Amino acid sequence: MATWVLSECTLKPLPKFYSHPRNALPSKPSTLRPFPNVRSTNLLGFRGPKWSLNVSAPLRVPSVDGEDNGKVSTNGVGDGGEFDPGAPPPFKLGDIRAAIPKHCWVKDPWKSMSYVVRDVAVVFGMAALASYLNNWAVWPLYWFAQGTMFWALFVLGHDCGHGSFSNNPKLNSVVGHLLHSSILVPYHGWRISHRTHHQNHGHVENDESWHPLPEKIFKSLDKMTQIFRFTLPFPMLAYPFYLWNRSPGKSGSHYDPNSDLFLPNERKDIITSTACWAAMAALLVGLSFTMGPVQVLKLYGVPYWMFVLWLDLVTYLHHHGHEDKLPWYRGKEWSYLRGGLTTIDRDYGWINNIHHDIGTHVIHHLFPQIPHYNLIEATEAAKPVLGKYYREPKKSGPLPLHLLGVLVRSFKRDHYVSDTGDVVYYQTDKELAGSAVSE
């Protein structure tokens, strides 16, 4: 059955180290330039209170003028003549944009909805088939396949959050809530924090997703906390805890309208998403009484945790685990372009189509307005401009088993970054790494 589906289609709170403004953006506008205002619309289309829906991607990326903070380009060449991934690139954001065909930016709501219909039909079809067969030879296959489909639903809701699903904010909001609430993700809460991630990608302190621990924080942790944070599979189960408590060194909850994550005018959005999340949780409780808790666990609970594994695996590997050390930035060395160029494309074999080519991640991070079904073409067009700053992903077999080794190696060596310096690289704690050699 799984073959058919594939073919068809910390945990202990850490000490707060950095203070963050309520909008989660850097406190020094001269260092980290804010994005232009994003489009807002009244959620219900009525005049009156400002119940706005802020698309999770800016309508325009930062100005291409001075986007490298005045740094002189070295064409990516270090002092020894070798390629230096931390050097300012010899191109601007506008150069990449100009290389991408204009039709790649066009959002087709009918095409986007067709993916939703396809994925939802597969989800319900597999649940019905597994329930009908009710065989222990089938359940493990179902759990893997259905968890993968839950991850596919998340990616479509992710497009809604970026506004790349359609140009209609109301459609994006409705579809995003339905998809994300169905897999227990608070749509607006996630959308806003994910916007912060894109606006600050590659920044040590201000990134929101899988950002590094500075050495001072890392070494203040007790040994058990370090083990839980850097020993598999525990980090791959972190997403639900992140939704409640955010990342290390930061406070606030994706469910709390008064969280540091959100602005006052986003409060009603968070209340709406939390209410939708609670409604889905209540539905699952009700189904447990009618169908029995074991059946709900088999049909929904186990696939949910498989979805969490997929989400943590994919998002981590988009920013970690490359064969060469990749930089993280602070201060004047950070720019939107340089931060985005530290992201990594990954090949997931058969899963590429199922999870809507989210592994094509570099162009997505630089231009999140591009629909997922145009990312591959846009990437191919941008490669000549990106040059060595684009890292060709290793080709996968039908299933991306090769990425498991990448994941293990990264957790053995990528532990913390220096407390000082504006261009920093992951360092390895020898004791935590065990037999791994510090690089």
205-209, 222-226, 322-326: least confidently modelled range: 222-226
CA 409 to chain centre: 21
Residue 145 pLDDT > 70? yes
Residue 5 pLDDT > 60? no
Alpha-carbon span 58 to 38, nearest angstrom: 5
Instruction: Give every CB contact of residue 283 below 8 A, 6+ residues apart in sequence.
Output: none
Instruction: Give every CB contact of residue 211 below 8 A, 6+ residues apart in sequence.
Output: 203, 204, 205, 247, 328
Which of 10-19, 36-45, 126-135 is modeled with the greatest confidence?
126-135
Give the Å distances, CA to CA, from 128 to 121, 124, 131, 133. 11, 6, 5, 9
The mean per-residue pLDDT over the stretch 389-410 comes to 95
What band does 23 get if pLDDT is binned at 50, 70 and 90?
A: very low
Instruction: Give every CB contact of residue 375 below 8 A, 6+ residues apart in sequence.
Output: 357, 360, 363, 364
What band does 439 get if pLDDT is binned at 50, 70 and 90?
A: very low
Q: Which residues pair with 417 in a beta bridge?
A: 214
pLDDT computed for residue 51 by the predictor: 36
Using DSSP's 3-state secondary structure scheme, residue 139 falls into helix
Between 43 and 223, the higher pLDDT residue: 223
Alpha-carbon span 14 to 362, nearest angstrom: 30
For the chain, the C-alpha Rg in angstroms (whole number) is 21
What sign has the CA pseudo-torsion 11, 15, 21, 24? negative
Segments of 279-382 assigned E as strands: 328-329
Using DSSP's 3-state secondary structure scheme, residue 401 falls into coil
The mean per-residue pLDDT over the stretch 433-439 comes to 50
What band does 194 get if pLDDT is binned at 50, 70 and 90?
A: very high
- Please answer whether residues 416 and 322 qualify as being in contact, where contact means their C-beta atoms are separated by less than 8 angstroms: no
Alpha-carbon span 393 to 349, nearest angstrom: 11
Q: Is the peptide bond before 248 cis (omega within 30 degrees of 0)?
A: no
pTM of the model: 0.82
- Percentage, residues of the chain above pLDDT 90: 72
What band does 81 get if pLDDT is binned at 50, 70 and 90?
A: low
Domains of the chain by residue range: 2-13+90-407
Residue 43 pLDDT > 90? no
Q: Which residues pair with 203 in a beta bridge?
A: 329
* CA atoms lying within 13 Å on the CB side of residue 2: 16
Residue 15 pLDDT > 60? no
- Please answer whether residues 302 and 293 qualify as being in contact, where contact means their C-beta atoms are separated by less than 8 angstroms: no
Q: Is the peptide bond before 233 cis (omega within 30 degrees of 0)?
A: yes
Alpha-carbon span 316 to 162, nearest angstrom: 19
Give the chain's mean pLDDT.
Answer: 84
The mean per-residue pLDDT over the stretch 124-152 comes to 97
Alpha-carbon span 275 to 267, nearest angstrom: 12
- Please answer whether residues 209 and 422 qualify as being in contact, where contact means their C-beta atoms are separated by less than 8 angstroms: no
Buried residues in 336-368 as b, exposed as e (16+ CB within 10 A): bbbbbbbbbbbbbbbbbebbbbbbbbbbbbbbb
pLDDT computed for residue 38 by the predictor: 38
pLDDT computed for residue 159 by the predictor: 97
